[in-house]
Structure 1
Amino acid sequence: RNSWDCASKVIRHEGLFGLYRGLLPQLVGVCPEKAIKLTVNDLVRDKLTSGKGEIPAWAEIMAGGCAGASQVMFTNPLEIVKIRLQVAGEIASTAKVRAWTVIKDLGIRGLYKGSRACFLRDIPFSAIYFPTYAHCKLKFADEMGHNGPGSLLLSAVIAGVPAAYLVTPADVIKTRLQVAARQGQTTYSGVMDACRKIWKEEGGQAFWKGGPARVFRSAPQFGFTLLTYEILQRLFYIDFGGRRPTGSQVKVPVQAGEIKSSNPDHIGGYRIALATFSGMETKFGLVLPRYNVSA
């Protein structure tokens, strides 16, 4: 009936470990998948950013969409093997279903069954996720433009909520195409065929089945993924001529007006020193005292 009903039945019939079916292929495939996705987004985003560090909304969406498309070569085989293992408990059989058995049965071509639906899910997801994440980072940055671990995690989790939920219809279609239909169950020949049959037999609400479960899985998953990615970038940053991620450095005033004191009797020594020493704590691990300049 819903996510809670599904979870309770899995635990009742298969035990707690039934909730972790398909974990191994997920662990094996998620590393290259996320590596490609994050790299492509940063690469395209950097190319479309102006010399002033500005990027239009369409460019943010395009960078995210390119990232989503690039990961399907890893995502689709991973998804179909994971799904086959997850539903194996529903089939009354003494033979234990393993990942390698599923791969041999499907073959190379079979591993990419439902790839069109996978594109329809992953491209919009990333096109929504990465621009939302970037804007949330700016919103939650401190007065110096710096993002700490807390604001990074919060931004990534918030961005995952609309991205995960809005692509639920594509995920439902992909799952229907990739799961092995049993005797008496409806079979689907493609994306449009699945759309027509689901709409006719189950109604429009069927396209949103599992939406909350997707949010509860994807939002924290991408939250910790992006947090880890950002921290590793700061620790092991290599300059290839691009730009550092926003929020990774304290914003240093560069205009004369920014360092000019608001007090006519004050020569602005603190503000000049601020421009000189800002960012030292992120570079050398120093913690400098903060002072408020009275107006």
Structure 2
Amino acid sequence: MDGPKKQVALWYHGGLASATAAMCTHPLDLLKVHLQTQQKAQLGLVGMAKQVVRNEGVLGLYNGISASVGRQMTYSLTRFAVYEYIKGQRTTNGRQLPFHEKVIIATFAGGIGGVVGTPCDLVNVRLQNDMKIPLDQRRNYKNVFHGLYRIARYEGPSCLFNGAVTASFRAVLITVGQIAMYDQFKQLLVGTPYFKDNMTTHFTASISAASVATALAQPVDVMKTRMMNAAPGTYSGILACAKDIASTGLTSFYKGFIPAFTRLGPQTVLTFMFFEQFRLRFGHTVPV
């Protein structure tokens, strides 16, 4: 007689789910970048949205969407694939993955994903922020592929990885906060008599994970955005960037926190809701 079985995700489901979620939340991500890079705290989320629409039209809220999707199909696809693969190797014969192992695996997966996703992330930030630059200084990338080509040709291939250290550090924090914490919250919820492996549990676990991920990653996210958008030579490294941000007050590390959570919350929820549906409907069956 066959034993109990479970549905597990395919290697690309995480990237596909993240890209689908990104298409829904991209305007919030764009506004977050604008808030983080403005020199003085003059506009809030609503004010910045009005300014973007006034200057660029409604479609201006989707500046850089190709780079956003490209980032998810590199960065998120990698971190989900690595995490799920190692998790699968460590949970044979019905073994439950302890929390500390989830954190270790998420740290490893996030670091790799951060490096792989840096080029598209760089183009994403530049595309989103291009409208704030004087017309004669704009980069005018047509899409993610044009941006990658222009950077590699005119700035050098190594410039595709500007901010890679900061991006990878952030990716580690986000992956721990999102994937490891989602896994843990879901395990705790399903372990009670009140929750099952359904959309209610997926939503509850994902919104809880989003809160942790935002708190962990926001300071690094601000530094990453500053470094990626800075002219060559502006910062000698992460510490120089951190010092510059701190010069305007420690709260500057959390500039854009509310829109960051407003974006990361829905993005995290949608990612895991899509991910779980892909897993349940299109995953493959393995013995528990």
Taking a change above 3 Å as real, the CA distance of residues 144 and 160 of structure 1, as seen in their structure-2 partners, is: closer
| Partner residue, 2:185 | 136
Match of 2:159 among 99, 110, 115: 110
**2-side partners of 1:76 and 1:111: how far apart?**
7
TM-score (ref. length: structure 2)? 0.73
Deviations 1:245-287 (A, max 9, x none): xxxxxxxxxxxxxxxxxxxxxxxxxxxxxxxxxxxxxxxxxxx
Gaps of 5+ in 1: 244-295
Whichever residue aligns with residue 129 of structure 2, its letter is: V
Whichever residue aligns with residue 149 of structure 2, its letter is: K
TM-score (ref. length: structure 1)? 0.72
Q: Does 1:87 align with 2:129?
A: yes
What count of residue pairs does the alignment treat as equivalent? 238
Taking a change above 3 Å as real, the CA distance of residues 9 and 181 of structure 1, as seen in their structure-2 partners, is: farther
Q: Does 1:188 align with 2:235?
A: yes
User: What's the CA shift for 1:18?
Assistant: 1.6
Larger CA Rg, structure 1 vs 2: 1
- Counterpart mapping for 1:69-88 below 5 A: 69-88=111-130
| Partner residue, 1:236 | 282
Highest relative contact order (Cα 8 Å, sep 6+), 1 or 2?
2
- Counterpart mapping for 1:7-22 below 5 A: 7-22=49-64
Match of 1:98 among 128, 142, 151: 142
**1-side partners of 2:80 and 2:206: how far apart?**
13
**1-side partners of 2:282 and 2:55: how far apart?**
46
| Partner residue, 2:22 | none
**2-side partners of 1:163 and 1:242: how far apart?**
32
| Partner residue, 2:257 | 211
Higher helix share: 2
| Partner residue, 2:46 | 4
**2-side partners of 1:32 and 1:80: how far apart?**
13
Gaps of 5+ in 2: 1-40
Cα pair 1:84 1:180 within 8 Å, conserved: no
| Partner residue, 2:83 | 41
Cα pair 2:115 2:168 within 8 Å, conserved: no
Q: Does 1:63 align with 2:105?
A: yes
Q: Does 1:220 align with 2:220?
A: no
User: What's the CA shift for 1:68?
Assistant: 0.9
Structural RMSD (CA): 2.5
Aligned residues: percent identity? 21
**1-side partners of 2:207 and 2:81: how far apart?**
19
Taking a change above 3 Å as real, the CA distance of residues 64 and 93 of structure 1, as seen in their structure-2 partners, is: same
| Partner residue, 2:226 | 176
Whichever residue aligns with residue 237 of structure 2, its letter is: G
SS at match of 1:88: helix
SS at match of 1:111: helix
